Structure 1
Amino acid sequence: MSTPRSYLDAPLSEGAEIHGTPAQAHHLGTVLRRGPGDAVTVFNVRDGEFAATIATLRKDRCAFALGERLRAPAAEPDLRLVVAVLKRDAFDWVVEKATELGVSAIHPVTTRRSVVDRVNLDRLSAIARGAAEQCERLSIPVIQLARPLHAVLDSWDGTPLLVAAERRDALPIGHAAHGLRLPCGWLVGPEGGFEGGELDDATRRAFVTAVALGPRILRAETAVVAGLSVLQALAGDWTVT
């Protein structure tokens, strides 16, 4: 039986007793059938990961008694995802998989072909937290409020941003990412792709490079995972041995 991991946004140190959230209490007690005295690990990006036991557990509250530190905090990749807001199930899946693939921030954007113009930050943050707990990373990606694509590009800090440009004569992503190092970003449009004017506006910016993902047209969520995987393999922490 694996040891559950719980993210705690509080200072962590050996010997401390830290209260969890009602959602964590429900998950541990009702879903996982754990109880006081059972082993868990707790973590955050500031303090690292600690062995712990469940000190108290009731229906809507819990507390953890922290033991030794198992992992020290360490730098994590600055890989950013800029993605058109998709329908709920698809976007939930994107957030989960992007978290597993190590993104540091998710910037939802609205485009001319978007069918959704807002996101539920509480739900998406909970999905990201659960994915981080499962995949053993220490951090949780920051999820921003949805904004128009041009507004995100206007406020971008100049970090290299690769954009999936289907149906255009663009450089293959593997060629564009060769020699690239993080930080960088990956931009994916809505189902049906960007309108031509949107893509023209994006690629006029010096930090944006249009790239191709091969001869097939991919669903937006597939393009997210494909591009992030290439960037992690060629420029991110998959290259660390």
Structure 2
Amino acid sequence: MPSHDFKSPRLYVESDLADAEAIAATAVQANYLLNVLRLGESDTVLAFNGRDGEWRCELRKPAKKKLDLVPLARTRDQIPAPDLLYLFAPLKHARLDYMVQKAVEMGAGTLQPVMTQHVQASRINIDRMRANAVEAAEQCGILSIPDCREPIGFGTLLAGWDPARHLIFCDEREEAESPIETLRSMPPGRLALLVGPEGGFSQDERASLRALPFVTVMSLGPRILRADTAAVAALAVLQAAVGDWREG
């Protein structure tokens, strides 16, 4: 298990992190630290911004209604953000929140909503999606916030696809074969994972994907999974078979 500090509160900040350079906490962060966690001056928290690694910071109150975070020491160096592109048909409200959080925890570096024919939610709140990504990163020791992109149409996505990135397509109609063996038979390279909506992909969408040379079709077993469950299952299988769970 990594020797990270899992007990101290962690905060994502926009500002640069450098030794002794005070950062003003936002009103939300100050309320959380002072009123929810009941921390006080000289207590410490961990902060990260996706660029400068993770820092232990001391709380200081230069004024009654102001809270600063003062970096004392870097606890972890910055590592590159994951290159895994996670594509998904948007879900509604709480289930989308859950899926975004779990995708971040499972190592997605980019979150790309895709508007498919049977998509459940026609609109998506990108600010809310990013807030959920930030919360997941804060809680799980992750050092980078995934790129949360605006929705894109299914046809537009495929038309502009970089064929150097292999696309793994979870098809509920695929015969139930070992996804581990399917993934390990692929050539090495950059990866993307596509999970569809509750109603599944349309026949035209399925045919379009299967016709592309950079697409691998993967089954998630004999049971039909809900979209948010399928996301976790697919990401776990991918990371175990060809992702960053493997040594080397």
TM-score class normalised by the smaller sequence: over 0.9
Contact 2:57 2:69 in 1 (8 A): yes
1:14–1:125: structure 2 CA closer, same or farther, 3 Å change rule?
Answer: same
Question: 1:174: how far off?
Answer: 1.1
| From 197, 201, 218, the counterpart of 1:194 | 201
Match of 2:166 in 1: 160
Count of residues in correspondence between the two structures: 241
Measure the CA separation in 1 of the matches of 2:9 and 2:57: 10
Question: 1:61: how far off?
Answer: 5.3
Secondary structure (helix, strand or coil) at the match of 1:74 reads: coil
Secondary structure (helix, strand or coil) at the match of 2:245 reads: helix
Question: 1:187: how far off?
Answer: 0.4
Match of 1:79 in 2: 84
Question: 1:188: how far off?
Answer: 0.6
Q: Cα deviation per residue 1:82-116 (whole Å; 9 max; x = unaligned)?
A: 00011111110000101111110011111111121
Q: Cα deviation per residue 1:198-239 (whole Å; 9 max; x = unaligned)?
A: 111122222211111111111111110011011111222211
1:1-241 equivalent positions in 2, closer than 5 A? 2-56=7-61, 62-158=67-163, 159-169=165-175, 172-178=178-184, 181=188, 183-240=190-247
Worse overlay, 98-107 or 141-150: 141-150
Question: 1:182: how far off?
Answer: 5.4
Match of 2:3 in 1: none
1:38–1:228: structure 2 CA closer, same or farther, 3 Å change rule?
Answer: same
1:95–1:61: structure 2 CA closer, same or farther, 3 Å change rule?
Answer: farther
Measure the CA separation in 1 of the matches of 2:239 and 2:228: 17
Question: 1:31: how far off?
Answer: 2.3
Q: Which runs of 4+ in 1 moved over 6 A?
A: 57-60
Worse overlay, 166-175 or 91-100: 166-175
Worse overlay, 99-108 or 164-173: 164-173
1:138–1:75: structure 2 CA closer, same or farther, 3 Å change rule?
Answer: same
Measure the CA separation in 1 of the matches of 2:184 and 2:201: 25
1:187–1:13: structure 2 CA closer, same or farther, 3 Å change rule?
Answer: same
Measure the CA separation in 1 of the matches of 2:240 and 2:93: 28
Question: 1:170: how far off?
Answer: 7.2
Worse overlay, 103-112 or 115-124: 115-124
- Equivalent position amino acid for 2:242 in 1: A
Worse overlay, 2-11 or 173-182: 173-182
- Equivalent position amino acid for 1:150 in 2: G
- Equivalent position amino acid for 2:72 in 1: G
TM-score by length of 1: 0.92
Worse overlay, 117-126 or 132-141: 117-126
1:127–1:66: structure 2 CA closer, same or farther, 3 Å change rule?
Answer: same
Q: Cα deviation per residue 1:18-41 (whole Å; 9 max; x = unaligned)?
A: 123222222222322222221101
Contact 1:182 1:235 in 2 (8 A): no
- Equivalent position amino acid for 2:212 in 1: R
TM-score by length of 2: 0.90
Measure the CA separation in 1 of the matches of 2:237 and 2:64: 43
Worse overlay, 212-221 or 52-61: 52-61
